[in-house]
Structure 1
Amino acid sequence: QEPKRKKTKSNGDSTMQAFIRKSLTFFIQKKRITVVIAMLCLILTLSGFFLVKLQFFPDFDYNQLYVEYTLPDQTGAERVKNDLLEITEKLSEYDEIINIAVSQGQTPGRYSLARAMNSGGDNYGELILNFYNYKDAYRLLPEIQNKIREEYPDAYVRVRKFSLAISTTHSVEVLFSGPDPAVLRELSAQAEEIMRNSPEIDPASVCNNWQSLTKTMYAQYNELQAKNADVNREDIAKALLASTQGLPVGVIFENDKMLIVNLNVCDTDGEKLTDLEDVLVWNMIPNVDLDDINVHSIIQNNVSIDELTNDMFRAVPLSQVTDGLRVGWNESLIYRYDGDRAIEAQCEPILTSTFSIAKRDIQEKIEAIPLPLGYSMKWIGEGETQNTAIANILGYLPLILIIIFVILLLLFNSIKKMVLILFCLPFAAIGCVLAMLITNTPFTFMGIIGAVGLLGMLIKNAIVLVDEITRMTNEGVEPYTAVIESTINRTRPVVMASATTILGMLPLITDPMYGSLAVIVIGGLTIGTIITLILLPIFYTALFRVKKPQTYDSQ
């Protein structure tokens, strides 16, 4: 029994080739309408790109989440420890979680994968949750975050995934810089209020990068009296330090440990001083003024070592070189950006939104905040990192395009054919945008890489077809016939090359990191194949004024 043969037409075309032949013949006859429709589709697609989610840095498919737990400043480390242990016990009830690692004070030093490293101090704790798979981790993220926030309302809680955005602490950050810390706090408060009122922003994530005000004791320095006593500000600071928490004066090494030696000043009973105004302030530089030292007594050996020491290292009470002590509120830490005092208003988008949508929702209102003279505002965060990354990626694009121009000119020795191939490339965006909208896939950093690679694939397919048309016309074939027959001859290679690439990308569609790349390539190649087999021949006949001969038989 003879094997079944693939159905072919009388001219040897397969079913697919016959369909391409009829379609191409029809659209060439309606080339003007076809070109107009194609241009309208391209314009609509470019407009539809604004509906695509923009998430420059993709997430990783790590089966881990990490919880940032921050209590108010000055909270004791014991309270943080107890809370972390309670949270660990509660989260252990989830069957999807394998184990939980806990760290206090900062991110574990050994744990430095694609994530930001935090050092929050005694009031900061962190839990690293290990899941069986990343799908469970992403599914449970909002539930775990809401659970911890509800049970610990006085803590700042964020449950985060892993992504390439590791240089910023928050996705959306706006920076105000200027000389006065009080004015900076007011500007940040206005921005934070705008963020909290945005439906695209998680209100519980809104904060700034400054710590809360702390009580501070001030010594009112009296410059004239201090000069007469031969002491300065540094001497007063060291005396206060030695009378309170201790003045570091050296270190002692015990095996692999380094122990800091502190100088502590106490009263005659060995107790800490209770009245700081009685603290003795001394000059660290010995007094060697001969007018103040009894040289004659020293020569006659009538002066004891203690008396000589008292003459050389004189001490005066703190009350004699200051105008008293007062307690007030002060900034414990002032952040600087490019040398200027600065504060960052920070927030995160809700889980169903992205950085670009959240920023777009608040950008106009925040930029409308009136800035006093000498103050400035700047968007940083993921946006600044994104712009830097895009500049690095696309920095060589002009050079690449020039190389492509030169190669096409050398290959075809025709500017028209070069323009023809390049003119077809933007239409691949139709497939890319449609695929992202249908699959609800965000456009990420990997998507840009996929788009650049897609250009190369489309140019390759176009070169193959235009080269075949050029070869047939050079052999004396009628131009119209050469366009049709070249397209039919190259149908199978173009379709098979696109199909194998599409099939290879299918497993990556659901991947959180490479999904954008896969969707871009699949959508772009699908429409790109139609562009190569239908649109490019139509543009060729229009550009080179190819007419259909009267005797041409489409069958």
Structure 2
Amino acid sequence: MIGPGTGYKIEAKFSGNNPEMLRQLSEKARNVMVNDDVAITIRDDWRQQTQVIKPIVSETMARQTGITRPTVADSLLMSFSGKTVGLYREDDNLIPLVMRLPKNERKQAAQIHDMQIFSEETSTHIPLHQVVNDIQISWENPIIRRLNRKRTLTVQCDPAYGNASPLFNRLRPAIESIPRPHNYELEWGGEYENSTEANESLMKMVPLFLLFMVLIILAMFNSIRQTAIVFLCLPLATIGVAAALLATGEPFGFMCLLGFLGLSGMLIKNAVVLIEQINLDLASNKPLLNAILDSSVSRFRPVCMAALTTVLGMMPLVGDPMFSGKSITIIGGLSFGTVLTLIVIPVLYAIFYRAERT
């Protein structure tokens, strides 16, 4: 399950309307990840909630003093973090211009009641406590992310070692079994999303190129039966691929799919070589069965040597974290496919052309 990196290899995306419910779902998913010893760097992309101070403006006093809510908000910004009043361009960089009170005039949170607000209507400074009914302290989400216009909280983690697929396969059933209210969705991101998108993009082109391959083989042999013999061996090669992946514990991901597509070309090449030799022997007036047997024997060494050199070339990549799936797919499929080429193709040729023992 390998694709372009996005920072975290496993991501569970919860989408819904209520931020508090999304926080609860996130906490349950994080607990599932914490209970797995392989999961590390567990976090969510909304970060921790922060405390905020909310003055409750008195509408009556605000009208009497000519102070509006934006005026209160601007005064609070300038007394604490500062208010952005413009941008300064330096080459290609935009630097914000922030205006705030001098350090010795900035108020602490405990002194917010005494903060002075300038009223343009009365041209005087008025203490904040005269225009507010109450000052509340509450917790707020500093970041709220959206996906497809829905609030989306993403729980993320990485494996401590190895590929993400084994860890993902353990976490997925447990996280998907978390009860979710109606209209709350769960989507998977990270490597799973990247691999799925890459596979879908790749599979859109496979039928077109498969058609081109069929037309090329058909034009080469000018025979539907011989073309069918060539392509009937490809599904059987999955036996060797599956056996190799099961023996090594490697998941069938994007790189394995690429390896299988390359393997298809190698097997077709071996099949073409053998069938072409059979046709040459038939052109020299050999009986059909003798031509099949002699061609299989004469092509045995070239086919095996070609397969052996390819297998040896893939061996150094078996331990590579990125290309191990591709190399294992080619090694297992080509090793078993060579046997298919030398046994199954002669058998299919004899069946399709009804070879009789002389």
Q: TM-score, normalised by structure 2?
A: 0.85
Residue 324 (structure 2) pairs with residue 486 (structure 1): no
Matched residue type, 1:358 = L
Question: How far is 1:282 from its partner?
Answer: 4.1
**1:455 to 1:315, Cα distance in 2 relative to 1, 3 A:** same
Q: Using the alignment, how far apart are the partners of 1:278 and 1:396 within structure 2?
A: 69
**1:282 to 1:348, Cα distance in 2 relative to 1, 3 A:** same
The structure with the largest helix share of the pair is 2
Query: Which among 536, 540, 554 is matched to residue 349 of structure 2?
Result: 540
**1:512-527 → structure 2 map (5 Å cutoff):** 512-527=321-336
**1:36-435 → structure 2 map (5 Å cutoff):** 56-57=1-2, 165-167=4-6, 169-198=7-36, 202=38, 204-227=40-63, 229-249=65-85, 260=97, 262-264=99-101, 271-273=105-107, 275-282=111-118, 316-349=126-159, 351=161, 354-435=163-244
Q: Do 1:249 and 1:263's aligned partners in 2 also have CA atoms closer than 8 Å?
A: no
Question: How far is 1:186 from its partner?
Answer: 0.8
Q: Using the alignment, how far apart are the partners of 2:39 and 2:309 within structure 1?
A: 46
Matched residue type, 1:467 = E
* SS class of match (1:281): strand
Query: How many pairs were matched up?
Result: 355
**1:509 to 1:259, Cα distance in 2 relative to 1, 3 A:** closer
Q: Do 2:11 and 2:157's aligned partners in 1 also have CA atoms closer than 8 Å?
A: yes
Matched residue type, 2:220 = L
Question: How far is 1:227 from its partner?
Answer: 4.6
Which whole-Å deviations, capped at 9, do the CAs of 1:336-368 have from their partners, x for residues lacking one?
A: 22332221222334536x433333333333223
Cα root mean square deviation, aligned: 3.2
Question: How far is 1:248 from its partner?
Answer: 4.2
Question: Which shows bigger deviation, 404-413 or 431-440?
Answer: 431-440
Query: Which among 478, 481, 500 is matched to residue 309 of structure 2?
Result: 500
Matched residue type, 1:278 = D
Gaps of 5+ in 1: 1-55, 58-163, 288-310, 550-555
Which whole-Å deviations, capped at 9, do the CAs of 1:491-521 have from their partners, x for residues lacking one?
A: 2332232233233333333333333333322
* SS class of match (1:420): helix
Q: Using the alignment, how far apart are the partners of 2:172 and 2:95 within structure 1?
A: 50
Question: Which shows bigger deviation, 531-540 or 466-475?
Answer: 466-475
Matched residue type, 1:408 = I
* SS class of match (2:8): coil
Question: How far is 1:380 from its partner?
Answer: 1.6
Question: How far is 1:450 from its partner?
Answer: 2.1
Q: Using the alignment, how far apart are the partners of 2:256 and 2:63 within structure 1?
A: 68
Query: Which among 267, 276, 291 is matched to residue 467 of structure 1?
Result: 276
**1:518 to 1:359, Cα distance in 2 relative to 1, 3 A:** closer
Question: How far is 1:386 from its partner?
Answer: 1.0
Question: How far is 1:228 from its partner?
Answer: 5.1
Instruction: Give 1:476's aligned residue.
Output: 285
* SS class of match (1:348): strand
* SS class of match (1:245): coil
Larger Rg: 1
Which whole-Å deviations, capped at 9, do the CAs of 1:136-182 have from their partners, x for residues lacking one?
A: xxxxxxxxxxxxxxxxxxxxxxxxxxxx5421x33222111122211
Question: How far is 1:204 from its partner?
Answer: 4.8
Q: Using the alignment, how far apart are the partners of 1:363 and 1:425 within structure 2?
A: 32
The answer to which structure, 1 or 2, has the higher relative contact order (CA under 8 A, 6+ apart) is 2
Q: TM-score, normalised by structure 1?
A: 0.57
Question: How far is 1:249 from its partner?
Answer: 4.2
* SS class of match (2:286): coil
Which whole-Å deviations, capped at 9, do the CAs of 1:391-431 have from their partners, x for residues lacking one?
A: 22332111111111111222223222222111111222233
Matched residue type, 2:101 = N
Q: Do 2:257 and 2:326's aligned partners in 1 also have CA atoms closer than 8 Å?
A: yes
Question: How far is 1:328 from its partner?
Answer: 2.0
Question: How far is 1:259 from its partner?
Answer: 9.0
